Amino acid sequence: MKKNILLVMALPQENVGNLLDQFGLPIIYTGVGKINAAIKLGEILSTTNEHTIVINLGSAGSHKYPRHTPNRQPCNTRDEARDLLHRR
| Separation of alpha carbons 29 and 60, rounded Å | 15
Residue pLDDT, tens place only, 35-63:
999 999 999 999 988 888 898 887 666 66
| Separation of alpha carbons 81 and 63, rounded Å | 23
Instruction: Give pLDDT, residue 7.
Output: 93
Distance between terminal CA atoms of the chain?
A: 46
Model's pTM, two decimal places?
A: 0.65
Q: 3 pLDDT exceeds 70?
A: yes
pLDDT band at 30 (very low <50, low <70, confident <90, very high): very high
Question: Cβ(7)–Cβ(55) under 8 Å?
Answer: yes
How many CB atoms are closer than 10 A to CB 51?
A: 19
